[in-house]
Structure 1
Amino acid sequence: MRLVLVSTQRTWGGGENVLAQLALGCQRAGHTVGVAAPAGSAVAKWSAKDPSIERLDLPGRGRGPQSMWRLRRWIATTGADVVLLNDPHAITYGGAALAGLGVPRVGVKHTCFPVRSAWKHNRLVEQVVCVAKAARRECLLAGVEESQLHVIHAGLDRMVPTPQETADAEQLFAAKSPASKHVLAIGSLLPVKGFDTLVEAAARSTGWRLWIAGEGPERPALESQIDRLGLQDRVTLLGFRRDIGALLTAADVFASASHREGLSLVLVEAMMAGAPVVATPVGGNGEALQIDIPGESLVARAVAPNDPDAMAAAIAAALEPTTANAERVANAKAWADRHFTIERMTRDYLALFTRLVGEPTRARAA
C-alpha cells in the first residue's frame, strides 16, 4: 500500500509527532510512505532525513491554489492508495485538491478545540480519525456525521535513553538543586498548556524545583511571572530539548496542567518512562489517565485545571515514597506499554485504510 501523509504546519507539535510515528509504523509493516509538507517546515526537514520517504515540497505555507495543484498532480502522477490529511488546513486544501481522483482521503482531529466547519469533515474526506473520544465528541457537537468518525488513540515508540544521556540529565538537575526533588513539565509554551499554574504551584511549595522544557510565545509571560514571584532559583525554562526521554527518566515527577488536550503523547511518554504523573484529565488526557473527572486514578494523580493549590498538593503527594505511589507508576507503565504502542496504532490505521480502499464513498465525488 502507498500512503501519502499531508501536513501544512510549519512547526513541530503533537500532531506532527503522531504523523512521524505513523509513518514509521507503516514502513515497518512493509508499506510505502510519501510526505507532502511546506518546504522548510519541521515535517519537511524530518522527512528529508529518511531517504525511503517519498517527498513533495509544497510552496509557501502549503495552502492555496498553487499547493493544491501541485499536490493533485503528484497524487495523480505517482498514485496513492490513501491520503492522510493531518491538520485542519490540510483537510481543507488537500481534501478539495484531491476531489474526484478516487483516492480515499482521511482527516485527523488531533485537538479537542471546537470544530469550525462540519461541512468539510463531512464532504472533503471519507473518514475523520479522532485521537480521543473527547475529540470525537467535539466533532459530533459541531454536526460532523457519526459515520464519518473513527477513534484511534495515538501510539509511539518508547524512548530508551542511554546511561550517559540519563547521567547527563541527572547532572543538569543536580547542578542547580542537588538537594531538591525535580518536577518536569514539557510542551509548547502556549497559554492552553497551563504552565503559569505550575509556576504558581511552585511558589506555594517547598522541596522541589520545576523544570519546563519547550519553547513558544508564552515564554516572556512566564519569565515575567517567575521574576515577579521571585522563583529564579526554583523554576527553570529549559527551552527546546531533544533529550526528553532522559529528562523523564531523571525527573522525580512529571506534571501537566493543560486546559485542553487531544491526547498528550508527552503524558504517555512519561508513563512509559516510569515517572510519577500529576495531570489535568482534560480531553483525551482523561482517557490516557483512565479518569474523566478530577480525582485519583489507578495510574496518576489528577487535578482540575487552573488550581495551583491542588496542583501543589498533588505534586507533594506524588513525591512521597509510598507503596500506593509505586503501584500507580507500575500501573501507568503497564497500561501505556500495552495500549499506546506504535504497533497498535499502526494496526488500527491500516485496518481503516484497507476498508476504505475497498469501498467507494460519497465524499470521493465531492
Structure 2
Amino acid sequence: MRIGIISTVGDYSWAGSEEMWKLFATEALHRGHSVAVMVQTPIAQSEELTKFHALGGVVFAYNPLNRYTSRTVSRGLYSRFRQLKRWQPEVVCTSGPPATPYRDKDLYRFLRAHTGGRVFIIQGNAESYVAGQAERDALRALYRSARRIICVSRDNAELLQRQLTSTLPIAILPNPIRTRLEHPLPWPGDLEQVRFATVGRYEVGSKCQDRTLHALSTAEWKGRNWRLDLFGSGPDERYLQDVIGYYGLEDRVTLCGFERDFAKIWKDHHIHVLTSRAEGLALALVESMFCGRPAVITRTGGNHELVRDNKDGFVSVGEDPEIIRETFERAWINRQRWPEMGEAAFHRANEWIPRDLPVRLFHTICNSGC
C-alpha cells in the first residue's frame, strides 16, 4: 500500500503534533507499506526523521504560501502538492488544524481530487478555528467523505462536530509520548522555593504564557518564593521578554529556550503550568505527568480530560488571569500535597496512553483507509 502523509504545521523544525503521524508512518513501514510524507521545509530537514529515512520513507518538502504563490494557487495555476500526486498514494492522511485543508486552496483541490482513501488527524481545535459559512460547508463535505478522522481528545471531537453541525467518522486516540517512563522521576527537593515550568511554543495566541505572567504579577505573589521557567521557541519570544519586564518579573521568570529532553526539565521543577487557549492534548502535559509532576491547567482541549482537579493537578474554570490566579492560589495552599499528586499524575498518564498505540493507530487508519 502506498500511503501519503501531509503535515500542515509550519515555522518549526519539529512540534509535538508531528509525533502521531510519525508513529503511524513508522508502524506502516515496519509492516512493509510504502510511505511518503509531505512536510514544510524545516520539518523535512529535521533529525527527527532519521529513522523514517532509514526505514525507506520518502520525504517531500514544501514551503508556506507567499504573496506570489497565493495568487497563482487561488487561480488554480500552481500546487505545492504535485510531487505527492505524482507519487500516486492510495490513501492520504492529513495532519494539522481542522480548517487548513480548506484554507490552503491547493491542498483543498488536491484532497478533493484524490480518489483513494482520505484520513484526517486533527491536532488541536478551538472555537475560533472554523469560521464563516462557506468554510463550514466546504469542511463538512470534506470531512463527511473521510474514511476516518482522528481527534486527540473528546473535547476536540465534540467541538468539531458542533462547528460543522454533522456527525463525523471520528476515532479518538491520544498523542504518543516520545519516551515512556516506567517510574516517575524523584521529587526535586523541598518546596522552600517553588519551581514552576511551562513547556510550549512561544506563541501566546494559543499557549497564553502572557496570561500566566499577568496572574503572577500581584504584590502578594511577588512576596512569595517561586520561579517560573518558560521552555520553548517561537515567534513571540521578544514579546514575552517584554511582558516579563512590564510586570517586573525579571528576577522570577526566565525564557529557557527549547529543551527536547523532558526528563531534564522535570528533574528540577515541581509543577507544570499550561494556561492554553487552544489545544488538542498537550504532549508536554503527558510528559510532565509521566515524570510525576502535577499541573495547573485551563479547561482546554483534552488537557482537562486527562488532569483530574485536585487529584492530578488544578483545573482553572476560566481563562481570565484573575480566575487563573485563584487556581494558582489553590495550588499554593495545597503545595505539600504536590508529591502525592505527582504520583497520581504518573499513574493517570500511564493508563491514558496505551502501550499498543502504534498498532491501534495503524489499524484505525488502515482498516478504514488502506
Does TM, normalized by the shorter one, top 0.5? Answer: yes
Identity %: 20
Q: Distance in 2 between matches of 1:247 and 1:29?
A: 35
Q: CA deviation at 1:234?
A: 0.7
Q: CA deviation at 1:86?
A: 0.6
Q: Please point out which of 123, 131, 139 is paired with 1:120.
A: 139
Q: Is the 8 A contact 1:59 1:66 kept in 2?
A: no
Structure 2 counterpart of 1:309, one-letter code: R
Structure 1 alignment gaps of length 5 or more: 291-295, 359-366
Structure 2 counterpart of 1:200, one-letter code: H
Q: CA deviation at 1:202?
A: 3.4
1:218-257 to 2 correspondence within 5 Å? Answer: 218-257=236-275
Q: Distance in 2 between matches of 1:68 and 1:311?
A: 46
* 1:319 counterpart = 2:312: no
Compute the TM-score of the two structures, normalised by the length of structure 2: 0.78
Structure 2 counterpart of 1:349, one-letter code: L
Q: CA deviation at 1:83?
A: 2.1
Q: What are the superposed Cα offsets for residues 215-257 of structure 1, whole Å, 9 maximum, x if unpaired?
A: 2232223222221222211111112222322102321111111
Q: CA deviation at 1:97?
A: 1.9
Q: Please point out which of 80, 87, 93 is paired with 1:84.
A: 93
Aligned residues: 332
Q: Distance in 1 between matches of 2:193 and 2:244?
A: 18
Q: What are the superposed Cα offsets for residues 49-93 of structure 1, whole Å, 9 maximum, x if unpaired?
A: 23224223244338953323221111x2xx44x321012435764
Q: CA deviation at 1:121?
A: 4.7
Q: Please point out which of 135, 138, 155 is paired with 2:156.
A: 135
Q: Distance in 1 between matches of 2:28 and 2:343?
A: 29
Q: Which residue of 2 aligns with 1:350?
A: 362
Q: Is the 8 A contact 1:258 1:280 kept in 2?
A: yes
What is the SS of the residue equivalent to 1:348? helix
Q: Which residue of 1 aligns with 2:325?
A: 309
Choose 19-28 or 229-238, whichever is displaced more.
19-28
Structure 2 counterpart of 1:16, one-letter code: E
What is the SS of the residue equivalent to 2:305? helix
Q: Which residue of 2 aligns with 1:361?
A: none
* 1:194 counterpart = 2:208: yes
Q: What are the superposed Cα offsets for residues 148-187 of structure 1, whole Å, 9 maximum, x if unpaired?
A: 33322222233569xxxx99xx8xxx9xxx9622111111
Q: What are the superposed Cα offsets for residues 324-358 of structure 1, whole Å, 9 maximum, x if unpaired?
A: x44422222112112224x4433332222233147
1:2-41 to 2 correspondence within 5 Å? Answer: 2-10=2-10, 11=12, 12-27=14-29, 32-38=34-40, 40-41=41-42
Q: What are the superposed Cα offsets for residues 22-58 of structure 1, whole Å, 9 maximum, x if unpaired?
A: 43455566655432223x2224424642322422324
User: C-alpha root-mean-square deviation of aligned residues, in Å?
Assistant: 3.1
Q: Distance in 2 between matches of 1:318 and 1:212?
A: 23
Q: Distance in 2 between matches of 1:285 and 1:69?
A: 37
What is the SS of the residue equivalent to 1:97? helix
Q: Is the 8 A contact 1:130 1:150 kept in 2?
A: yes
Q: Is the 8 A contact 1:278 1:314 kept in 2?
A: no
Choose 110-119 or 17-26, whichever is displaced more.
17-26
Q: CA deviation at 1:211?
A: 0.4
Q: Which residue of 2 aligns with 1:52?
A: 55
Give the 3 Å change call, closer, same or farther, for CA 284–275 of structure 1 in structure 2. Answer: same
What is the SS of the residue equivalent to 2:156? helix
Structure 2 alignment gaps of length 5 or more: none
Q: Is the 8 A contact 1:71 1:94 kept in 2?
A: no
Q: Distance in 1 between matches of 2:208 and 2:62?
A: 34
